[in-house]
Amino acid sequence: MTESNLFEQQAANRRRSTWLTVGFVAFTGWIGFGGDWGLYLLTRDAVEGYRHVVPGIGAVFTAIAGAVAWHAWARGPEQVLKSAAALELLEAASPDQMRLNNVVEEMAIASGLPKPRVWIIPDSDPNAFSTGQDPSRAHVAVTDGLLRALDRDELQAVIAHEMAHIRNYDIRLLTLLAGMVGAIVLLSDLCRNFLRFGGRVGGRRSGKRDANPVAIVVLTVWLITLLVAPIVSRMMAMAVSRKREFLADATGAQLTRNPEALARALEKLDGASAATRSITKGTAHMCIVDPAERRLHGGLGDRFASHPPIGERVRRLRAMAFAPAA
């Protein structure tokens, strides 16, 4: 990867982060104002009972979207680390922690970046992720299980992979995705609960006309949006994550000049079939491997996993090392 390509990649990720935020606010506005529009059309002919005039749903949802976007930008990394119960490594208390601290320093020098803050997650399943707004405010978190499972070369390869995410500005994009996916799921649930318990809208209509067909169409599209929004948002996070993981594997191998070590590390992480229970579904796309139970993957499971298949990633790395696939 040339330096010009690296700078182009960083600029592209900054643009993606901006458009992601704009798209999120616009989509949330549609959920709110679309509901207002449909309710207005449905109730405007009512002669008694409720008539929806003030676009309160849209105003509230747009305000929530703006607040979530700002919070995901300003406080997202801290919230991700807090949700994983991560503890910052300020002073090494064991040989494994000392090795981790040394490896992070080495990879920061190799990548030409400031050393990120280092965190340890109390979880026996091996995994790791990085987060932050930019390389000067970055964090790398690893589980206890990762420190015990990997040798030094493999640990260095995993940290190089995370430093690649930092250098490519993936951390900003993936952190924003984590906050916005969670917000879309929450707003969708709120709307469904409102529809379930909100009771009937409208009242007795003037004349004997049927319900406004335009209102029915708008509300139908709105309801479909509510149903598919959580699925689409998670699929979008999966698509972004899959592409970024392949790039981070290649960049990490470039930093260590040892793609075979990352291939071995991924195989070990894939062999630990239990779930990384400290990491929530909303932040799954940020990890080096899918934190769900790996024994459920394979075949159809790989299509719905937050990461590309481990076997494909290992194959590409071994091709870089001119080594045969296992």
Q: How far apart are the C-alpha atoms of 105 and 103, rounded to whole Å?
A: 5
Which residues are designated catalytic? 162
Q: How far apart are the C-alpha atoms of 34 and 222, rounded to whole Å?
A: 6
Q: How far apart are the C-alpha atoms of 140 and 116, rounded to whole Å?
A: 6
> Which residues are CB-neighbours of 251 under 8 A, at least 6 positions away?
1, 160, 161, 164, 167, 168
